[in-house]
């Protein structure tokens, strides 16, 4: 019996590590959707850029984890703002489908532009963390697991503080609630949207660095599947709802870990998308979402 409990706890540790990546990326989807009702499908590729910046900082500049993480977040934040200004801002009043197709275009641009710049080959992260493992009653916890979970929780708490208590956070909430009224109240909507993209992209970059450190290899197409899964996590929690994205991310990570733990690791991507289909059939507004009738 002890053995089964050990395995379950081991999968929980693995699931929380993976879930923390999904949760960070899902937050970006959710924030952008909450403000301009756009699913930013290039988000996973911004995460990839963050992973490469982190890789460059740790290999070429020989920086340690925290400075590399901060640099990746900064570069991706600027990239997110640029993407928003160049690709999405001109389409503010266009149809939803136009901005969606543009998002997919930006995504391809980053993936294949990335291939041109950094070549398609796999890159390996240097060992950023010590190889310490903690054996708690048969459960192996890697040093990296702890750093990942702690980093993502710290970032989520920071995000919560920003959204709840700062001026820009209040502006974001106002714009997401009613764009036109926010304009009338003297809120600079364009800057608020830029800030949202910056924060979302920085969180994605953090996820990218964590992913690089955790799985060791990165490549220009690494953002596609985690990007889609984080989107599933955002929908699962209720798109546009920040706590929902976190819960959805951790839930998805845990589900995948248990599916892998049962020996069905080839099924784990399928399970993620099965969850998406079930959520859309049973509760389209997500776990935390309220059913809002679309005004026609």
pLDDT in tens, 43-73: 999 999 999 999 999 999 889 999 999 999 9
Residue 137 confidence class, pLDDT cut points 50, 70, 90: confident
Residue entry with tokens 């850029």: 49
For 73-108, what is each residue's pLDDT tens digit?
999 999 999 999 999 999 988 888 999 999 999 999
The whole-number average pLDDT for the span 188-193 is 94
pLDDT at 294 over 60: no
- Residue 296 scores a pLDDT above 80: no
Per DSSP bridges, beta strands 217-218 and 123-124 are antiparallel
Question: How far, in Å, CA of 101 to CA of 107, rounded?
Answer: 10
Q: How confident is the model at residue 135 (pLDDT cuts 50, 70, 90)?
A: confident
What is the C-alpha separation between 82 and 63, in angstroms, rounded?
26
Q: How far apart are CA 134 and CA 60, in angstroms?
A: 30
- Tokens 């049962």, residue located: 262
Residue 292 pLDDT greater than 60, yes or no: no
**Residue appearing with tokens 């909450």:** 34
State the chain's mean pLDDT as an integer: 90
Residue 47 tokens read as: 């995460």
Instruction: Indicate whether 141 pLDDT > 90.
Output: no
The lowest-confidence range among 8-17, 42-51, 201-210 is 8-17
What is the average pLDDT across 144-163?
91
* Segment 253-288, tens digit of pLDDT: 999 999 988 877 788 888 889 999 999 999 888 888
The whole-model pTM stands at: 0.91
- Give me the mean pLDDT over the 127-153 stretch: 85
**109 against 9, higher pLDDT:** 109
C-alpha dihedral, 26 to 32 to 36 to 40, nearest 10°: -70
55 by DSSP, 3-state: which?
helix
Task: Provide the pLDDT for residue 179.
Answer: 87
pLDDT for position 156: 92
What is the C-alpha to C-alpha distance for residues 144 and 245, in angstroms, rounded to an integer? Answer: 23
């Amino acid at each position: 019996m002890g053995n089964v409990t050990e395995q379950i706890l081991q999968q929980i540790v693995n699931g929380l590590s993976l879930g923390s990546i999904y949760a960070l990326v899902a937050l970006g989807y959710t924030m952008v959707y909450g403000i301009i009702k756009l699913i930013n499908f290039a988000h996973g590729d911004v995460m990839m850029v963050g992973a490469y910046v982190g890789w460059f900082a740790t290999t070429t500049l020989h920086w340690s984890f925290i400075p590399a993480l901060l640099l990746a977040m900064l570069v991706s934040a600027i990239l997110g703002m640029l993407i928003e200004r160049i690709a999405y801002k001109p389409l503010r009043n266009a149809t939803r489908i136009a901005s969606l197709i543009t998002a997919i275009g930006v995504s391809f641009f980053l993936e294949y532009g990335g291939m041109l710049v950094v070549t398609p080959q796999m890159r390996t992260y240097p060992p950023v963390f010590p190889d310490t493992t903690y054996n708690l009653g048969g459960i192996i916890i890697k040093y990296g697991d702890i750093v990942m979970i702690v980093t993502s929780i710290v970032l989520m708490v920071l995000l919560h503080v920003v959204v709840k208590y700062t001026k820009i956070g209040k502006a974001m909430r106002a714009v997401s609630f009613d764009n036109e009224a926010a304009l009338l109240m003297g809120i600079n909507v364009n800057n608020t949207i830029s800030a949202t993209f910056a924060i979302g992209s920085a969180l994605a970059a953090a996820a990218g660095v964590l992913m690089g450190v955790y799985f060791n290899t990165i490549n220009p197409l690494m953002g596609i599947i985690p990007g889609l899964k984080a989107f599933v996590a955002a929908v699962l929690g209720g798109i546009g709802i920040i706590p929902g994205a976190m819960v959805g991310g951790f839930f998805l990570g845990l589900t995948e870990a248990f599916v892998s733990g049962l020996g069905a690791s080839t099924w784990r991507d399928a399970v993620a998308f099965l969850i998406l289909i079930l959520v859309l059939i049973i509760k389209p507004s997500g776990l935390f979402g309220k059913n809002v009738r679309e005004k026609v």
